[in-house]
Amino acid sequence: MHDTVKSFQIREIVCIVCPNGCRIRCAQTPDGLQCSGQKCKRGVDYAAAELTHPMRSLTTSVKTAFPDSPVVSVRTDGEIEKAKLIDVAKALGQVIVEHRVKIGDIIAKDICGTGVNIICTSDRLMHP
């Protein structure tokens, strides 16, 4: 949501750090980032990060070479820049798992140069 109050652009960000889901109204002013609506300081930290370098985890699935389990679920082992999510998703679209991997095994190292690995989140390939 965007609007303008006292000439400062206001953005509303929903904090996802805890289940409260506070709606935080943020304005970048000459005195710095001003926030309201958060129930704790973690919300301000989250909003500041979200406005400058938003990060996300990714959970998805990739293809395998095994007809009994043609796909296996995976996730990032850390957060990646939101702007790189599409590149990472495209790269994972090219991946074919050719070994019977288990939970925690690395499927792709340093995906797209992010420094984050893609790891398996299922034992499905171990128990066909």
17 or 96: whose CB is closer to ligand SF4? 17
Give the nearest distance from C-beta 46 to ligand SF4 in angstroms: 6
42 or 90: whose CB is closer to ligand SF4? 42
Return the residue matching tokens 């796909």.
71
Alpha-carbon distance 28 to 10, whole Å?
8
Which stretches of the chain bind ligand SF4, using CB under 6 A?
A: 15, 17-18, 20-22, 38-40, 42-43
Alpha-carbon distance 10 to 97, whole Å?
45
Give the nearest distance from C-beta 113 to ligand SF4 in angstroms: 31
107 exposure class (CB count in 10 Å sphere: 0-12, 13-18, 19+): buried
Give the nearest distance from C-beta 58 to ligand SF4 in angstroms: 22
